[in-house]
Structures are given as structure tokens and as C-alpha cells.
Structure 1
Amino acid sequence: MVQEREMADLRVTRLTSRIEALERLVKLGLIGADFESLQLEVQRQKGLLGRLAGDAGIGNVLYGIEAPQNVKVLSNDLTEINVDNTTTKTVIFTFDIEAGDLVPLGGIQLTLGGDLKSDASGTLTVEIKWGTDTLTSAATTIQSAAARWKWYMEFVIGASSPTAQKLALWFQAIVSSTDFGLRRADISGSHMGNARAAFTQNLLKRITLEVNVKWSVAGASLLFRKDMGILRLLPNPK
């Protein structure tokens, strides 16, 4: 799709240059034929470029094309993944970002949620990988509790250039015997975390996003479960 769009763009550029040259000849009275048909061909190529740009989720105001700048859901992952009774690092979410999807200056937003059980001593490590970079990796000893913890994590990766990106992340887990755990942050029974990072992956190549977790010890009383993950492609606002 990227190659087809570039070819259409090149055809429009060449045809536009020919029209400008013909316009000058028409003004001089040196030519009068082929001009209208060439204009129609340019419009046809512009229409093709518009459809290609629309499929890619971008617009090109240079040609009067303004494709809708909508958030696009890349992955709606409702596959349950349980990490229990193991010390093996386990991937709970992964997705390949295609080359050029974040160019120019787009971003992605990932929302993850689930629950966990910690009725024994154990340290949980959460890691996010972006291509060859480990964006963030943090470990915490989850407080022992008979009730399940409900956890939520969200982060955004934004591109400031095709080779420079930034991360902002928020994580929270709250212990509760109900599905909706609501409590004060200064009371025992909650874990929170924030992260930021800067990195330099090449967005013109395919990049794999990966989130994984790992327990320090194996035990039936230690469980981390991912219920869902939704990945969104954020458009360039310009």
C-alpha cells in the first residue's frame, strides 16, 4: 500500500508539472489540444491518491485530500492469558506495527486489564519491549491478600520523528473482593506506577510491541491474568 501511494503521488507530480508547462504554451498560443484530457487524467490520479491515502488513514492537503483523522483500533484482544505456577517470562500482549504506520508523527495507545492473586510471597516484574528496546521494566512485591487484585495499565507511545519516540505509562492494582475495587491510594491494598522513556526505533521498519510479566517464584497462590488488551492507532493531528 505504501509503495502504491508513492507511485500515485509521483504520477500526480509528473502530470501536474506537464500541465504547468502546457498552460504556459496555451497562453503563448502554441498549443490547444490535449490540455483538457490531461487535466482529467490528473483528477483521476488525484482520486486514486485520495483512496490510497484514505486507506492508510492519512490525508494530503497538498492535493485537497483530507481523509478522516480517526483513531483506529489495531487489536481488540480478549484472549485470557494466565501466568501462574511458573517463573517463565510470559508474553501477555504482542502486536506488529507495520512500517510507516506511525509516520508522520502518529502514535499508539495500549490499554490492558485483568486481575491477579497474591496469597504468597512473590515479586512481579512487568516489562514492555518496543522492537529492540526495553522501554521499561519494573518489579514489585505484591502484598499478600486472600482477595483478588484488579489491575489496569495504559500507555502511549508518540513519535516526534521517524527515528524518535516517547513513552508515558500508568499502572494500578487494587485489592478487592468485588469486581470494582475502589479505595484511597494512601491505604494499604494498592500498587501504582508511572513511567516515561525516550527511544530511537526506526518507524520505517516493522516494529514489534510486546508486554510480558514474570513471577520471581512459582506457586499456585501467585497468578497474573490478562483479560483484555485494546491497541489503538493515534493519527497525526496535523
Structure 2
Amino acid sequence: MNWDELAPLLWVAAGETLQMVGLATLFTVLLGLPLGVALVVFDRGGLRPLPVFKSVLGAIVNVGRSLPFIVLMIAIIPFTRLVAGTTIGTAAMVVPLTVGAVPFFARLVETALREVGTDVVQAAQAMGAGRTAIVRKVLLPEAWPGIVAGITVTVVALVGYSAMAGTVGGGGLGDLAVRYGYLRFEVPVMIATVVVLIVLVQLIQSLGDLVARRLSHK
């Protein structure tokens, strides 16, 4: 396979990977951010202590994090079909990507929020701020650099997950590497997909680090 044949395949596969990762990241942040906040707020000593509920929530998160992605992807096939109407293709793969990333990101959000000094929260409470106001105006703004760093780590993990999804017809760079690089013994295709993935991860990490530093300085 020459470059003229490989370039269009790489272009399409990279676009599918970006589509999967972009949508999964959006849904992961929308679901994982409030979940991470809940793990902190409902903990012992939190703004609204509900230790039993927090323990149940934490157990669910831990179960989600403990499953290897390939196992999770197969286990929730009925749920994927229910949500996406199919189990193959880039649209379908957004479902297991999101389900696999939400618990992971929620724990990163929890860690970032716990790094906020208790004196800042106590000062807000002393001024009469309610729980919702403390979360929105104190905890989240103070933790944004850590949250952005967590989003960056999650996106990089999603790139790896999306490549794994290619092994079951998910499309993207992983699918290209399997169908052309592995099954057809096209070594240049395998090398090209690896290079594209490395470049993609480096760009994501560099951008995430830059945004986190800017927020930290502010």
C-alpha cells in the first residue's frame, strides 16, 4: 500500500476517532462532574453528609472503574443497542466509551475537589453561603486547574479506549490498524496509525497542560 492509498484511510479513521472521543468526552464531563461533586458533598464531613448513600455511590463507581474496557464494551451491548440502535460504528461506540470513562473522571474530579483548602470553604460558610453557592462559587472555581488536568487525562484514556473499540467494528484508527495493518500484514499501516495516535495524544496533553497552567495562574 502506497501513501496515496494510505492517506485517505488515515484521514477518515482519524476523523472517526476524533468524533468518538469528542462526543464521549462531552458526555463524560456532563455526567462525571456532578458525580464527582456528589462523592465529596455526601461524604463524612462534607457539605451534606450522607455516608451510606456516598458508600453506595462509591461502590458503583469502583465497579465501573474495575472492569477492563473490552469486557465492559461486551457486557453492555444490550444497553448500547438500546441507546444507539446499533452496536457497531462510531456512534455506537460513544456509549461504552462514556460508560467506561464516567467513573474514572468522577474520581479525578473528587480528588481535585478534595485539594481545595477547608479554610476557603469555612470562610464561605461563615459569610452565610449555602451549599449550592459553595459548590458553584468556591469548590469548582478553586478546583478548575485540577479538573482540567483530569479532563486531559480522561481524553487521553478515551483515545486508547477508542483504538480498542476498533477491534469490534467501532471504526477509527484502531479499526484501520486491525483491518489493514494486522489482518492484511500491512506493516506501514500499523506504523502510520501508531504515529498518528502518538501525535494526537501529545497534542491533547500539551493543550490540557497549557489550559491548566493558565487557570492555575488566574
- TM bucket by the smaller chain? under 0.3
More helix by share: 2
Normalised by the size of structure 1, how large is the TM-score? 0.23
The structure having more radius of gyration, on CA atoms, is 1
More strand by share: 1
